Structure 1
Amino acid sequence: MPVSELFARARAERPGHTALIDAEGPLTYDGLGALVDRAAGWLRRRGVRPGDRVVHAGPGDRTFLALMWAAFRAGAVFVPVHPDLTDDQLRHIVRDCGAGLAICRPAAGADARTAVEPARAAEEIRSADGEFADGGATTVEVADGAIALLIYTSGTTGRPKGVVCPHRQVLAAVRAIDARLGHRADDVVLCRLPLSFDYGLYQALLCAHAGATLVLADRGGDLALVRAIERHGVTVVPLVPSLARILTLLSGKLRGPAKVRLFTNTGARPSRAVTEELLAAFPGSVFASMYGMTECKRISVLDPALYADHPDSVGHVIPGDHVRITGPDGRTLPPGETGEIVVWGDTVMAGYWGVPLDRQDRYARRADGSLELRTGDRGRLGVDGLLYFAGRDDDLVKRRGVRVGLAEIEDAAERVPGVYAAVAPRPAAEDAPLLLAVQTALTAREVREALARHLDPARLPDRIVPLDALPLTANGKPDRAAVARLLAAPEAPEAPEAPEPLEAPEAPEAADAARPEAAGPGPAAVPGAAGPATGPGPGPVPDAPEAAAGAGTTDTTDTTAPLRNTHAPAGV
């Protein structure tokens, strides 16, 4: 079954139900379907054939959705890319995937077989009056293993790689996530995430699966977000930390009880204090913490009923997937022991585009021929099957001969009353000072005294720097590199050092990105992945400017909101 069937079924069963609400107004499933028909005919007229890669670097709006569903229906491979990436970044993606059609700026799409500017594509599709619809309604028969999506994600080498997402795995992820979250046909899902970000894109897939309504938030400001929740009767809100904080601060502006029943979150998590404030501000709502990454979409979901007793868990493994925890030698560890999280099962994607499997350090072939994903994340399984995330391998540093997780230090800081968020940039070397930036009104000494009750000397920062706000990426993820630059700058705020400094006071190098993806090599030419890799790319894609608002716009109000930096995998 192709992914396009999700929308086709919703259209057939609920033609008059509102499918989408965006800046242009509401659109029923039948109305959006008519736009999909035109987009499918337009793709055919542009020479798109089954298996062709269609790069879309335009706004995340109704045209984006129409082209996505149309590409699935045509048997093409949809490649969503944020329009704010530089021409160099876009050009690398266009070349790497061998795009048949690139909907992007002319300079970036020059290497595609055909390139069209986003505004022109939208105008042609919308103003066709049926010109392109003829012949567009046919769904091409595609194998379950055919590629539906290529989602480019960052790597530790700074080379964006396309994660190959076949129809089978995408549908498995949608069904497994929905089995845990329970989307309903009467749900109204507010999406303030970029649709080029897979956490945002899957909101559209989940809504189609349930026949629900998707609301794409525009950049009308934060108060407009609260008004949208009221006006449209929003029931489900996918969160990033900055959005969680905004909603807690503005909840007093609600003019009556809201209908929100479910908040979801993956990647960087709001602090426990912010989450509790949020649930109190929206009575009757619950919080579902999730864990995953683009390479397998989702791994676990915490049942909201378990959040109060297990707030640090990321839940049970989703249906169809399996997790084991391995030690340095690859041996499976028993419950309670911390090691690398390894996952296999229905949602594990087909590797990286055009990269031989034997050159990949994340995907490996199992005895039954399936792939397993070595996440590079550390965690443990409880005897009850609950999964706990403990940080990334590249978040580990060595101090005084002790392996220390930066996430552990940040978590301890965020447990200090009055600390809203914390980021510990990776030190430049083992003997370099460990710095900690905290968003708080407390003094550095007050934070240090509190931390000293919970952290041993090897984990206690050498210098603590209180800041009014911590920088975020536009996805709402912690911007470790920006924090490191801020702390290294000569004008960075000074704070008292430890009474007995552990290291010489030298500035650290810029830290790694919030979630470097598996950078090694990637599958032996994945079936259908004929496009050759072209060498190093321009830089990590997910942490390039991405809009916090829907419809592909950037809302700068999100860039100073507090966050909790527990785990921020790119595009989850």
Structure 2
Amino acid sequence: MSRYGRAVEPLDPNPRPLDHLTLRGDPSAAALLTREGLLDYAGLEEMVSGLAGALAGRGLGKGARVASWLPKTRMTSLLPLACARAGLVHVPVNPLLKRAQVAHILQDSDASLLITGDARAATLKAGDAPEGCSILGDFEAAFLLEKGDRLPPSSADPDDLAALLYTSGSTGRPKGVMLSHANLWLGAISVAYYLGLTPSDRTLAVLPLSFDYGQNQLFSAWAAGGAGVLLDYLSAKDVIRAVERNGITVLAGVPPLWVQLIEAQWPGASALSLRKLTNSGGKLPASIVRRMREVFPAADIFLMYGLTEAFRSTYLDPALVDAHPDSMGRAIPFAEVMAIGPDGNPAAPGETGELVHAGPLVAQGYWRDPARTAERFRPAPATSRHGGIAVWSGDRVRVDEEGLFYFVGRDDAMIKTSGNRVSPTEVEEAAVRSGLVSEALAFGYPDDRLGEAIALIARPAPDQGAIEAALRDYLKRELPNFMQPSALLVRAELPRGPNGKLDRERIKAELTS
């Protein structure tokens, strides 16, 4: 475990309403630093209670969905807790997404309210938001933070729905993962415990708050009574300046960010201030981990694996990183993680099985999608000590004699790039919508910086000439940066299987062999 001790001990398995995170710290201690200024815990509680009251004052029914499509601000930090206190369900939308993806999330979630900025609101068209959904721009959103009767800490049932986090699947549009107060509360307590967070820690929130990993940057900091510092970074220099200026001790990242940071020039004192570094969203090569050790000699490095449907599954104790740099580690507190063979029994050491996750961190399923819920959320194996419903991840893993897990591969076609899960179907559909393409195939291929890069192979529509430049321009307008193909190939014909369907595996094998 961390050599710096734990703040959350012993582990309390009894979840509470999510908004009670405002009560974890000393009222006069720093809780949140954004461009709008610093909030201590007393200020955090006051603003959450006021925002909750303002939301409740809009007459939204219990469980109504409130979407936010914003950069990292005070509002996006407070909304998860304020919605929870007001009996509403928060739907954070990645600020990098563009109109088509946002419209899908708004319609699918049946959002009653969207809080965004004027520029983003102007990109939406009639019919993008559900009928009756109110859209609040800059002025109205600021007004919510200024007005509203104070609501006291809630007495919500921890099993009540608190959030929908939209995550991509391999065969369709993003689906909303249903997370309860208990899921989010216990996730915060678990991470604060195994990271050894203390009230003196300051966490730099670099990752998007629309991700479970990004949200937990704040939640786990508050669970320990520490502070979260928000940063929308453009370059490694921005991160370095923020670490130096704010006395940052904890930094969470994905592989591409760590590659940038270890290549940058760090003032010695800034690098030495970092005490805990965490990675998820893709495997870090051993060479990157070694370089992180050199650049950040005072820091514990936590290598982690997770999926939104079960929050976080495993972490590798920093003391084992050098000896087992390829391992995912063991189950985090409150999680039961198993490698299950085709016969439904635990895989023997060294054998490959499907990673199955049980316990109170398992989500409640996919929003209004019983078919896909039934595919992924199934009864736990008979050998599970926890039982109940488990997440069958589709990821192939093996376990060694010491109980350490190792990632082997994926059963599905998901592309994991820059810490984001990308559906190849979404990229393919966008290409076809351009009118330049009749058919398209997208898949991931190994990339040292991104984890996986995206390759798109397209067959031009009839009467189209050279389409590469026009197609790239179109995709830049329609898809966020992390969905952009690194490789774009145009072919007159695409390979097909015996059933006439496009043969994804054949073309992938041809191009990566």
Normalising by structure 2, what TM-score?
0.75
The residue that corresponds to 1:563 in the other structure is none
Match for residue 535 of structure 1? none
Matches within 5 A, 1:315-394: 315-356=329-370, 360-366=374-380, 370-394=388-412
Is 1:26 the counterpart of 2:38? The answer is yes
Once the two structures are superposed, residues 162-209 of structure 1 have per-residue CA deviations (whole angstroms, 9 ceiling, x without a partner) of: 111111222222222222211111001111111112211111111110
**1:353–1:422: structure 2 CA closer, same or farther, 3 Å change rule?**
closer
1:234 aligns with 2:248: yes
- Give the aligned partner of residue 263 of structure 2: 249
CA distance in 1, matches of 2:480, 2:181: 26
Specify whether residues 181 and 194 from structure 1 end up closer, same or farther in structure 2 by C-alpha distance, changes over 3 A only. Answer: same
C-alpha contact 1:237 1:264 (8 A) present in aligned 2? yes
Distance change in 2, residues 1:476/1:29 (3 Å): farther
Distance in 2, Cα, partners of 1:97 & 1:424: 30
The structure, 1 or 2, with the larger RCO (C-alpha pairs under 8 Å, 6+ apart) is 1
2:204 aligns with one of 186, 190, 197? 190
C-alpha RMSD over aligned residues = 3.1
Q: Runs ≥4 in structure 1, deviation > 6 angstroms?
A: 424-428, 474-477
Choose the corresponding residue for 1:175, options 189, 200, 209.
Answer: 189
Q: Structure 1: which amino acid aligns with 2:486?
A: V
Where does residue 69 of structure 1 map in the other structure? 81
Encode CA deviations 1:441-489: one digit per residue, 9 max, x unaligned.
Answer: xxxxxxxxxxxxxxxxxxxxxxxxxxxxxx9xx9997x6x72342xx36
* Alpha-carbon contact 2:192-2:221 (below 8 Å) kept: no
Encode CA deviations 1:20-76: one digit per residue, 9 max, x unaligned: 122233222222333223211210122223211111112221011222211011121
Residue 122 (structure 1) aligned with residue 113 (structure 2): no
C-alpha spacing 1:88/1:341, structure 2 compared with 1 (3 Å) = same
CA distance in 2, matches of 1:475, 1:306: 37
What is the aligned length? 423
SS of 2:273's equivalent in the other structure is coil
Q: In the aligned structure 2, how far is the partner of 1:72 from the partner of 1:327?
A: 39
2: CA distance between counterparts of 1:427 and 1:58?
29
1:44 to 56, 60, 81: 56
Give the aligned residue type for 1:284.
Answer: A
Unmatched segments (≥5 aa) in structure 2? 1-15, 415-442, 458-475, 492-505
Report the TM-score when normalising by structure 1: 0.68
Paired AA for residue 8 in structure 1: L
With over 3 angstroms needed to count, the CA separation of the structure-2 counterparts of 1:425 and 1:162, relative to structure 1, is closer
What is the percentage of aligned positions where both structures have the same residue? 35
CA–CA distance in structure 2, aligned partners of residues 353 and 424 of structure 1: 29
| Partner Cα separation in structure 2 for residue 143 and residue 256 of structure 1 | 43
Match of 1:102 in 2: 114
Task: Indicate the SS of the match to 1:482.
Answer: coil
Aligned partners of 1:46 and 1:298: how far apart in 2?
35
Q: 1 or 2, which has the higher strand percentage?
A: 2
* Structure 2 Cα separation of the partners of residues 109 and 423 of structure 1: 31
5 Å matches for 1:278-289?
A: 278-289=292-303
Alignment-mate amino acid for residue 290 of structure 2: E
Identify if the C-alpha distance between structure 1 residues 23 and 56 changes in structure 2 by more than 3 Å, giving closer, same or farther: same
Report the counterpart of residue 523 of structure 1 in structure 2.
Answer: none
Cα distance in 1, alignment partners of residues 237 and 44 from structure 2: 28
- The 1:424/1:17 distance shift into structure 2, 3 A limit, reads closer
